[in-house]
Structure 1
Amino acid sequence: MTTAAHGGTRHGKTHRPLDRSARVFVAGGRGLVGSAVWRHLVREGFTDVVGPGSAHLDLRERRAVFDWFAATRPDVVVLAAARVGGIKANATRPAEFLSDNLRIQVNVLDAALEQGVERLLFLGSSCIYPKFADQPVREEALLTGALEPTNDAYAIAKIAGITQVRAVRRQYGLPWICAMPTNLYGPGDNFHPEHSHVLPSLIRRFHEARETGARRVVNWGTGTPRREFLHVDDLARACLHLLEHYDEDGPVNVGTGTDITVWEAAELVAEVVGYEGAIEWDTAQPDGTPRKLLDVSRLTALGWVPRIGLREGLAETYAWYVAHLGSGVLRH
């Protein structure tokens, strides 16, 4: 494998489809997104998928990351590792979200460049877009307005990752790409009461209320913000599809193209869980961005569409949650 950092600019075309015997490093392979990508790659016939857990490789430690890349020499990298969390975690621990994500990204991207990794997919987040961007949000909205204050540190880190990938494309000619997923959920999610995203948080809250016989559940905010939700297995399919069909400078949105209010999401989760009590809202708590619907026309033009409906996906996710209660697998 040619080392791009030492070998100057290269302008090779993407090989489609990817060689199923290629060594694919899924960074963050134990997390919600990484584990879904790993499962999909194996289903699609990839025979050499690698990715040590954080106990064996801390991606924040630069020397360890460079040594691992030198020893393992992956052909393809999917950078799904990140410190993630819901609105409360982002708002109360912004320094950690900025520092950890910057270090993870810079270390992995720099090490991949040193080893001349030909194909790399960096996964960002829809929070990179301005708080009041026109809806649905097109990829061109990036850096055109102010961010949502409750998660600006995380967003800035992800914007830095996008910028680094684009810089590598310009300077070294490597076909690295970026994808921006919308709000994700699915088996393997984080159900922590303070650090989780909206859907797993609702699943846990309504399940516990049903089990204890609670007569009401109080959720943060007004319930009026609109959110788009994508099953993580659909994202995994999109990742491989992009690696095999996309080689352009700009990021690509990944979502369903439809949204609902958080209130409607809560009612749907309550129905799936079987909770029949009252649903109330603590309007003293923040709502976050009022609406965040992605324009997914760039991705659908490449021939990809989501397959898993929200009700179906929530039922699967809840079944996974119940099956793993008390197992030590749940991050809660």
Structure 2
Amino acid sequence: DHITAVSAIARQAGLHNWNACLDMSGIGDDPFVIEQLAEQYAVFSRVTPLQKKLLVQALQKKGHAVAMSGDGVNDMLALKEADCSIAIAQGSDAVKQMSQIVLLDSDFSALPMILKEGRRVVNNATRVAGVFFIKTIYSILLSVLCIVMNLPFPFIPIQITLIDLAIEAFPSFLTMLEPDHRKVNGDFLSTVLRNALPNAIAIVYSFLAIEFMSDGFSIRYDEAVTMMYVCVAVISMLAVYHSSRPLNRLRTLICICMTAGFILAILLFHNLLHITLLSFRLLILTAILALSAILVRQILMLLLPWIPGLRPQPNNARQHSLS
């Protein structure tokens, strides 16, 4: 469209830099030139299909996540290149087939809700995965240690099932549908590992500490397993508390029910779970070990951001743009 019309529409749409406009009819297809123009201007008119694609690539090269909307075949190159491609129902069939999102009523006012829903899913999935990955990591590490040290794996399936149900699944299921419209920052896997790794290593530390202390404190095997199990539960619940921040009424109630439910299950079904009721001396020792494991966890949480690949990205690391 004509640059005057495009600029006026951008102004009505609320674009802050509506007057930073450029007619692309006199601009060639040089990627370097278009990359410079993409940083200087916000509104473009008379854009060819190839120039649209080059604009998307230029924005992506600068670290932007680019959404592209279109309705005709002249938009297909840019739609294919964009991080998120959006078509309208009144557009061509080819465009609707290749786009990731199709607005069935051709109403762009639905896009803010689409963005919020995507953020809710990604943020909640990342938060929950940080708890679920703890068991995966410490199970692998404990299996390797048991093989190297020629020791039996300390836990049986029904014990892990209780942790899965009461500590992992119950809080996650009830909080997955909570609204969370914060901007998505960082990579999923590195964020999850950064949240899960300190807890898993703290659990492995408690396992090694109890193994080395068993002989000196005359701790039977079944008592040692119970002490390890309590440490696993404490660290796992602490991870749930941490992932639930900031606390609201629902999350506070869930954390209380999780803690009370797990303790009640231990007291009522300790025979089924093969859990031994500990003496007062061993309870004190278990509490000291759990506190030391929490200290190890906190130290690791301070050190992990210094490890390449696990550093949290700043809030402005990835900017979200609409082209």
TM-score by length of 2: 0.23
- Based on CA coordinates, which of the two structures has the bigger radius of gyration? 2
Structure 1 or 2: larger helix share?
A: 2
TM-score by length of 1: 0.23
Structure 1 or 2: larger strand share?
A: 1
